Amino acid sequence: MPKFLHTADWQMGRTYSRFDAEDGAALVEARYEAIERLAALATEHQCDAVLVAGDVFDAQTVSDRTIRRVFNATSGFKGPWVMLPGNHDAALAESVWSRAKRLGAVPQNVYLALESGVTSLLDQGIAVLSAPLTQRHTYGDLTQPFAEMETAPDLLRIGLAHGSVQGLLPDEIDSTNPIAPDRTTTANLDYLALGDWHGVKQINERTWYSGTPEPERFRNNDAGYVLIVDIESPGATPQVTRHETARYQWHQWLETLSVPSDLDELLIRIGKLPEASVLDLKLSGTLTLAGDQKLTEVLSIAEARYRSVTCDRSGLQLEPTEEDIAELHADGYLGEVVQELRESQQATEEGEEAAVARDALGILAGLLKPKDAEVAQ
């Protein structure tokens, strides 16, 4: 009863320039840890092989250190690994793969499927039919030759490819590296292991995307898993189970604040996130000065608690209530400044001037905040 682990889209060498250096470094490190976790899973579940369906590396130009660290991270599983070049790490004449071989970094139990063909794992009962990308984009279906590839009748026929199943994926990504949705039928495959879509996705009972084992973007598409596939014998229906490997959860929230309860609910949701969270907030609507102070305080606590927190307040307007102004004791000249800032913000609504007025209101509120209120908090 052959069993294998299906994974893809490791994107090793990826950088996170939008984050602070400390957070970016932690996110990079999590990707190496994900490889170690999936190797441990393969060992724990007594898998016969690990199949990596493309984009092991994020670019051809990754450092030698990255190459060595990737292969070192696979050491937790001693069985065979079959790695396929994808669009980010295509098998060019001179590529990250040829460099890895020159470095002597590729372990003996790792098979690099750099050419279209069959890798027969006789002891494991598996024949891997590979369709590597030899350039970043192709417009023909590289899995078409699978139908002509011969394998021993007692071996599972497992396809390994990287691309877009035509007509079944969202976001209009059907333009390059096409794969026919009926390839398992036309090529008599027991299973087709795919990469390129970064979340777990079932195409049919024999065709799956595993997604990336560690999320790297804000997209709710079931990223952060690997698949363990159990097939009793050639022709049997695959039993596919997904196993979580992600360390960090990525959340992107677009929130409109209209009434105080909107803010209260948002702050409760922020407080309930797991510590291994990457949170990106984009806020619009209106806030009172008291609400703005409360939001600032909660975000400050969250920034220290979670892996990363970013918040875009450019769509927010501050609307001080009479109670806000009374608590600030902004009489005379200060009261006039507060009123001018309110009017400036409301007059422009959007753009740099509105942002300056909004920020100035927030800063002024913080400076004028009663000392007893600060002590109470």
Contact 24, 16 (CB under 8 A): yes
Contact 86, 56 (CB under 8 A): yes
C-alpha to C-alpha distance for 3 and 60, rounded to whole angstroms: 31
Contact 252, 278 (CB under 8 A): no
Please provide residue 222's backbone torsions phi and psi, each rounded to the nearest 5 degrees. 65, 45
Dump pLDDT digits (tens) for 89-108: 999 999 999 999 999 999 99
Contacts of 139 (CB under 8 A, 6+ apart): 176, 178
| Mean pLDDT within 252-278 | 95
User: What is the band of 114 on the pLDDT scale with cuts at 50, 70, 90?
Assistant: very high
pLDDT at 80: 98
| Mean pLDDT within 318-328 | 66
Cα–Cα nearest to 295, from 323, 274, 321, 316 = 316
Cα–Cα nearest to 188, from 155, 140, 223, 221 = 155
* pLDDT above 90: percentage of residues in the chain: 73
Cα–Cα nearest to 244, from 205, 208, 215 = 215
User: What is the band of 347 on the pLDDT scale with cuts at 50, 70, 90?
Assistant: low
pLDDT reading at 362 higher than 90:
no
pLDDT reading at 331 higher than 70:
no
pLDDT reading at 350 higher than 60:
no
pLDDT reading at 344 higher than 80:
no
| Mean pLDDT within 247-263 | 94
What structural domains and CATH numbers belong to the chain? 3-244 (3.60.21.10), 249-376 (no CATH)
| Mean pLDDT within 43-51 | 98
User: What is the band of 368 on the pLDDT scale with cuts at 50, 70, 90?
Assistant: low
Contact 271, 299 (CB under 8 A): no
pLDDT at 332: 54
User: What is the band of 374 on the pLDDT scale with cuts at 50, 70, 90?
Assistant: very low
pLDDT at 137: 86
pLDDT at 139: 87
pLDDT at 345: 63
Dump pLDDT digits (tens) for 283-312: 999 888 888 889 999 999 999 999 999 999
pLDDT at 370: 53
Contact 244, 224 (CB under 8 A): yes
Dump pLDDT digits (tens) for 174-228: 457 899 999 999 999 999 999 999 999 999 999 999 999 999 988 878 899 999 9
pLDDT reading at 353 higher than 80:
no
User: What is the band of 255 on the pLDDT scale with cuts at 50, 70, 90?
Assistant: very high
More confident residue, 285 or 324: 285
**For the chain, what is the mean pLDDT?**
89
pLDDT at 309: 96
| Mean pLDDT within 161-186 | 81
